[in-house]
Amino acid sequence: MKPETKTQKLAYVGIFTALGVVLGTISFQVGPTKVAPFQHFINVITGIMLGPWWASLTALFIGLLRMSFGVGTIFSIPGGIPGAFTVGVVYKVMRKDWAAFSEPLATIFIGGTLSALLFGPLINVHKGVTWFWLAFAPSTLVGTTLGFLTLKALRRMEVIE
């Protein structure tokens, strides 16, 4: 089932935000970051189901809540939003589930770069761009693959169109 009204989309944002926060407790400390593969999993599903803006909003809410609960860092924001937005945009253009694999490109290169050049200096963390790219890569590759496989299973079971 694909949400059609703003109310339905907002309900999905709430559900996926809650799921992302709960699953976000499964994270790994990599230097100053806490990478969470399930953030990318949620990004894939919301990007395809809800589109770029609603998926980005979901990623923002997950990041803010993870930070407030102490299971995420400031890097949750640049580590989540670019991937969600990119999946949504690429899916709108391609209309193929393979759009999911645009998530790592955005997370690694856009999110990693923003983390190094903008968010890191805000909290006095000075790591190079390449360091953040390498820190984000395993998490986003695992989460994206899980999201893609889950999406395929949901389509096969006719849970979503």
29 phi, psi to nearest 5 deg: -75, 120
pLDDT per position as a tens digit, 80-116: 999 999 999 999 999 999 999 999 999 999 999 999 9
Number of structural domains the chain divides into: 1
CATH code for position 95: 1.10.1760.20
Residue 117: give the domain boundaries. Answer: 6-24+31-156
Flag whether 1 is in a domain. no
pLDDT per position as a tens digit, 19-55: 999 998 888 878 888 888 999 999 999 999 999 999 9
Flag whether 49 is in a domain. yes
| pLDDT, mean over the chain | 93
